[in-house]
Amino acid sequence: MVRPSPRREDILRAARAVFIESGAQGARMDDIARRAGVSKGAVYHHFPSKDELFAALCEQEHSRLAGMVDQIVGMETDAVDKLRALTRGFAHWFGSLEHPPRFFLLMGDAAARDPELQAHWIRIHDRLVARLSKVIDQGIAEGSLRAVDPVQVARLLKAVSDGTAMRTAIAGEAPQRPDEMVDLLLRGMLAP
């Protein structure tokens, strides 16, 4: 695997901060270059357009999250333990970010405005849903989860994660009591 150059990483870090401060529409390559301490030409050398730079940030954001998900999905344990670990992992993820997941909000807003970015975002989202559906499949096979459509349940779990990210981004609150959250999802809201 080829490691990104330090300069490229500096540009990505600076771009992320500029996009968070100025929004996808207001961010300028000049501001990104200045924040990264490089020339505007260096930014364009690594990223031919602002859209490509933004797409690279979206991919980076999801790749980091996917790495955490892959690690948990690959654990040698039952599906319920994996779901608990995923919930704790998401809570820790949101609570440990340098900036609350404000970039997450920008990704959704930009995807709603740009069909090409929307298609890219959907592909990334679907990859995460596929990983989560494997855990649901495992739980069905183990008998710990009832027979459900694994993809629909995975989308529900992803939606809960996305809603939690939005709450964290807007209110600055990391999720509390993640084990209770997953217990509610597993057991439902009906009284016994």
- Every domain of the chain and the residues it spans: 1-48, 50-187
Rounded CA separation 16/129 (Å): 25
Q: Cα–chain-centroid distance for residue 180? A: 22
Rounded CA separation 33/45 (Å): 11
pLDDT, averaged per 10 consecutive residues of the chain (192 residues), comes to 71 93 91 95 94 89 85 94 88 68 81 86 89 95 94 90 80 73 77 68
Rounded CA separation 59/69 (Å): 15
Residue 24 is predicted with a pLDDT of: 84
Residue 63 is predicted with a pLDDT of: 83
Q: What is the pTM of this model?
A: 0.78
Tell me which CATH code domain 1-48 carries.
Answer: 1.10.10.60
Check if the beta carbon of residue 167 is closer than 8 Å to that of residue 100. Answer: no
Residue 100 is predicted with a pLDDT of: 59
Residue 99 is predicted with a pLDDT of: 61
**2.60.40.10, 1.10.357.10, 1.10.3720.10, 3.40.640.10: which CATH number matches 50-187?**
1.10.357.10
Check if the beta carbon of residue 100 is closer than 8 Å to that of residue 169. Answer: yes
Contacts of 173 (CB under 8 A, 6+ apart): 167
Of 103, 65, 101, residue with least CA distance to 86: 65
Residue 40 is predicted with a pLDDT of: 93
Rounded to whole angstroms, the maximal C-alpha distance in the chain is 64
Q: Cα–chain-centroid distance for residue 41? A: 30
**What's the mean per-residue pLDDT of the chain?**
86
* CA atoms within 13 Å, Cβ hemisphere of 30: 1
